[in-house]
Structure 1
């Protein structure tokens, strides 16, 4: 007998669960993101397709990327874009193209191969960004490269989703459809730049005039959700829209004014994204195609490390920093879930199992990336200061 849980009770239990798991993660020094996903899997039967949880998770992921966008003004973003495209194309070739070749050797048809390639392609933007923030590595040299790769993937992944949706709905995804989709991405980006240079040019002075913190929350969260929602309306990713919304305000001299207001709201809602992600993973009656799963997981790790090592060198990073970056981008997540939802039957179960294992492996590798790098390249040597004692030569 199925008992319907009142939304208010469900919300209270989820928040208490977030507190308990967050507290536990501090005590046992274990990534809270993994605990949230496992929590979601456990509650999948009661919360699957829960609209309240889904909506809260959307707010959390939008605010995370809104705050990330604040770190990238137009000049910095354009500089990254000029440097990141070779590594971005390498990422597509290794994680989408080669995966399709692997699928071919396991006798999968073209559509299924493309779908699994899409699932395996994109690094989880939310998991990676959250771990960068939690571990204090946002200021490291590889952080800019990692974020550049994530942005590149957030531009490519919606195209993959659109093509798959066009095929699954029985329609033909033509070159015209591709150009329209690309045009939407350009229009959304140009719109953000124009708003940054016009409407939001004196936004900092306007924000200083608002003394009530509640009104500031409504204004700033409203901007993030509106532009993220506009991206969704155009058939793009809300993550891309939220990032561009943050970029619109990045010209402010003191972005901490925005961060101080939005951070608490983001911290409240973001864990719900990972819980919701867990509720979407359906293991079914068992794990299908185990040998293929093992091969795919191994290649998924190897491919991302290569994107870090080779792409990082293209970007101008050292061997050490490039390797550390590669270990930090192995987790799969939200886009993989979106693409996997287009699958059916055994392939959907397979994709669900792959996503949760890839997310877990990726998060462990992220946590261990500095230690693994030090074991391979040795601990970085501290630069000795050449101090001269007066009178001594």
Structure 2
């Protein structure tokens, strides 16, 4: 009887998620807020609380986080990460300062303590790579000159996750200063070792994993990822970081094949993760934190726009491209929920989960709007107050010069990143 109820509940969840995904696709919108709302509807205090399948969904949610980070690692090679770190680290520092501090300050003002402050800093810091990539593709901006700047900021955020997640894991576990420092040292050492091995011996690793049979490739990559994630979690380094490092270590045809095979599984289990997070959030707990979440969303929308503008200006992008870069970075999503989920599971602060849910719901809806309308709104306001950029002087006849692509034209760098932007 129990197994029948489990199958009925789990089948209903999967069917419901599929229908919600189709509905979101028809609206050309991210399905993340719909998945969160579905979790709220079937969790404690919701319309129809689940019983038999909750433990199964919890396991699926954990696999969802692992697959999210694995697929993220497959997008980059170790040399890409090292190159981005050397070239664009100032943009990453500005991104962290402008967007992590508001979350930390908000948690302290709410009286939640230092651990919750570090967690909420991560929630407000990390943009949603998946939502942003989809928005750029929908708006036809994959080839724009500002797109490599947007991607570089996202890459640095992803790389920072490898350091940030072990810190959060140690903090929410209640580890002391010595244990937390040891965990961070182990994480940094493992990450550095994996990057070194991936740069030097990435082809050897890929050949070892490679297989012409899709079934064998799927089993080897998935088994290796879950094994490494489990070992990493046992060492309190974070299962997600272990999965991310496995993705980085794979390259070439193996990475492309694994990406194709694992994408449907990633989508399935990631959807279950969002549902699981919603299941553990009481809808009645959201209204009390709605105002702080809205205020935090407004502040961090402005700081993300400022981050993109500064990064694009540093790269020599025109004023319009700077505004587009800033508007595109606003959306938060999967990783904000991953970070908040660690604190919720550990019982750090009861109001943190509801606030994170409301915050992500606001910005995952607002993000596509800011990506579309920040630049035209900034141009209009600039024209009204008389502070628009000065017109470019007409070229002097016969004067030699270098033709640069306009904001709407694809540059070579942007074109080379178009596949990464589409798949990220």
Change (3 A) 1:90 1:348: farther
Q: Secondary structure at the match of 1:122?
A: helix
What residue in structure 2 maps to residue 19 of structure 1? 18
2:273 aligns to what?
273
Where structure 1 has 5 or more consecutive residues not aligned to the other structure, the ranges are: 385-393
Tell me what 1:180 maps to: 182
Q: What are the residue-to-residue correspondences of 1:217-366 with 2, within 5 Å?
A: 217-250=218-251, 252=252, 255-284=255-284, 287-288=287-288, 292-310=292-310, 313=313, 319-329=322-332, 332-343=336-347, 348-349=350-351, 351-366=352-367
C-alpha distance in 1 between matches for 2:286 and 2:80: 47
Which residue in 2 is equivalent to 1:151? 159
Displacement after TM superposition at 1:7 (Å): 2.5
- Is 1:81 the counterpart of 2:85? The answer is yes
1:128 and 2:128 equivalent?
yes
For the 8 Å contact 1:330–1:361, the answer to whether it is kept is no
Structure 1 residue 185, shift from structure 2 partner: 1.4
User: Alignment partner of 1:6: what SS?
Assistant: helix
User: Is the 2:290–2:355 Cα contact (8 Å) retained in structure 1?
Assistant: no
Question: Could you tell me how far apart the structure 1 residues matched to 2:166 and 2:311 are?
Answer: 22
Check the 8 A contact 1:40/1:275 in 2, yes or no. yes
Q: In the TM superposition, what is the alpha-carbon distance from 1:204 to its structure 2 partner?
A: 4.5
- Partners of 1:328 and 1:291 lie apart in 2 by 19
How many Å separate the matches in 2 of 1:204 and 1:286?
A: 46
C-alpha displacement of 1:362: 1.6
After TM superposition, the structure 1 stretch with the greater mean CA deviation from structure 2, 179-188 or 112-121, is: 112-121
SS at 2:182 equivalent: helix
- Indicate yes or no: 2:68 matched with 1:64: yes
Q: How many equivalent residue pairs?
A: 367
Whole-angstrom CA distance in 1 between matches of 2:79 and 2:285: 51
Find the aligned partners of 1:245 and 1:285 in 2 and give their Cα distance: 38
Alpha carbons 2:39, 2:279 under 8 Å: kept: yes
Give the secondary structure class of the aligned counterpart of 1:333. helix
**CA deviation map 1:182-205 (0-9, x unaligned):** 211122213423553677533454
Matching residue within 22, 31, 54 for 2:58: 54
Instruction: Give 3-state SS (helix, strand or coil) of 1:281's partner.
Output: coil
Unpaired runs of at least 5, structure 2: 381-405, 411-424
* Contact 1:85/1:152 (<8 A) preserved: no
